[in-house]
Structure 1
Amino acid sequence: MVEARHRRIAADITRRIKAGHWRTGEQIPSRPMLAVEYDVHEQTIRLAVTLLRSRGILEGEARRRLFVAHPPAMRTMTAPDAEWPYGSETTDTRQMRATAELAGRLGVDIGTSLRRETVECLDPGGRSAMLVTSWWRGQRTQHATAVVEVGVVPLGEPQAHALGLTVDTVAYRLVRTRLDASGNALETADLILPLDRWLLRFDM
């Protein structure tokens, strides 16, 4: 069976990495070369590679070179409203109209013009650790407090690409809404955190 074969190949590649056959950050053979080595169709290797990328063992985009992944740094988040202490890159600042979900979160009418900002938060080594997309109306103003809801979400293509993961990988989704002193929503945001890089522990 193809499924059993690609899982066996993934397990063997993992074993070889742990045995030091390939070191962290080292390029491994191409997909065609692996297909020849394992005497399988290249599609079987692609399935094995997809599995290994989803587990954080390999990194590299489709049709690109493959490398042994650096172990992701596990970080603890205790304050989802705190400023990010490391580097970051703003990747999207387009305005948009409020969807039904955003309208409900911000207490505005559907179709209201909103400002949007997506920020890729980097760890101290310069690797992507979290994506934060924020929406607000008008000018940003100082907030008094914030509320956070925690769930999970499968990654879409842009998110997966930014985080170096595969599409549909499940990640934490923190919905953070910043409020004024009267409890009115000023800004709402989605914080997307890879499950394998984060532990959530909130101070209450």
Structure 2
Amino acid sequence: MSEARYRRIAADIRRRIAVGEWAVGQALPSRASMARDYQVNPQTMRLAYDLLRRGGVLDGEERKGVYVAHPAAMRTLTDVDASWPYSSETTDTRPRAATEELAERLGVRTGATLQHETVECLDPGGHSAMLVSSWWRGRRQSHASFVAELGTVTLGVEQAHALGLLVDTLAYRVTRTRLDAHGAPVETADLILPMDRWQIRLGG
């Protein structure tokens, strides 16, 4: 099974929903039926359905049927340092070598070993709302302030899979660096927010 195949199928189902083949709240055919239509293994269809559920396109449970989800509520990000109020899952804690960009953001040498954590923040319906990847040196420290910059990024494979979107989809990227009382960086993070689920309002 090609990983690209289930992503292509998921993209085609998105297209079919967009043109009105299935309406909001309407059940989709069973996984077995769709697998026959697409001439793929049911496991490939399961992955496509899972990807669409994570992205908030489909809802429901496989054994009870899946249906077209109501559009996710648009959220507004105003405080990039606020705690996430809903559930979250830590998906990666492997230490990383500091890239040139991370070294500059943290004031360390390129290649230095950094502690790392990627957290998937889930909305109340259990859909992925954003990804937060953080890096810091040594033990995690408390901070007194932070600085943030807003930009955009195209999603890589892991990010796209977690958010239920296609690779190379454009998303917001907020870079947040936490500072100690002396203004020295103690932690930096990338917040990745899908553009179809967020608007950003920073500052006054």
TM-score bucket of the superposed structures, by smaller chain = 0.7 to 0.9
- In 2, distance between residues paired with 1:121 and 1:12? 26
TM (norm. structure 1) is: 0.74
Q: Partner of 2:130: helix, strand, or coil?
A: strand
What is the alpha-carbon distance in structure 2 between the residues aligned to residue 96 and residue 161 of structure 1? 21
| Unaligned residue ranges in structure 2 (runs of 5+) | 1-11, 40-47, 60-64
* Corresponding position of 2:28: 27
Residue 22 (structure 2) pairs with residue 17 (structure 1)? yes
Q: Counterparts in 2 of 1:80-95, with a 5 A limit?
A: 80-95=80-95
Q: How many residues align?
A: 172
Partners in 2 of 1:10 and 1:89 — Cα distance?
29
Q: Distance in 1 between matches of 2:198 and 2:106?
A: 27
SS, match of residue 17 in structure 1: coil
Take 2:112 and 2:120, find their aligned partners in 1: how far apart are those partners? 25
When the two chains are superposed, the root-mean-square deviation of aligned CA atoms in Å is 2.9
Among all aligned residue pairs of Structure 1 and Structure 2, give the percentage whose two residues are the same amino acid.
55
Compute the displacement of 1:34 (Å): 7.0
Q: Output the amino acid matched with 1:95.
A: P
d(CA) in 2 for partners of 1:58 and 1:121? 17
Cα 1:126–1:57 change in 2 (3 A) is closer
Contact 1:14/1:57 (8 A) holds in 2: no
Secondary structure at the aligned position of 1:27 is classed as coil
Separation of aligned partners in 1, 2:17 and 2:172? 30
Q: Is the 8 A contact 1:177 1:188 kept in 2?
A: yes
User: Shift of residue 68 of structure 1?
Assistant: 2.7
Q: 1:194 to 1:13 in 2, by over 3 A?
A: closer
Alpha carbons 2:56, 2:72 under 8 Å: kept:
no
Separation in 1 of the partners of 2:66 and 2:188?
37
The 5-angstrom pairing of residues 24-173 of structure 1 reads 24=26, 26-28=27-29, 30=34, 33=37, 58=57, 68-173=68-173
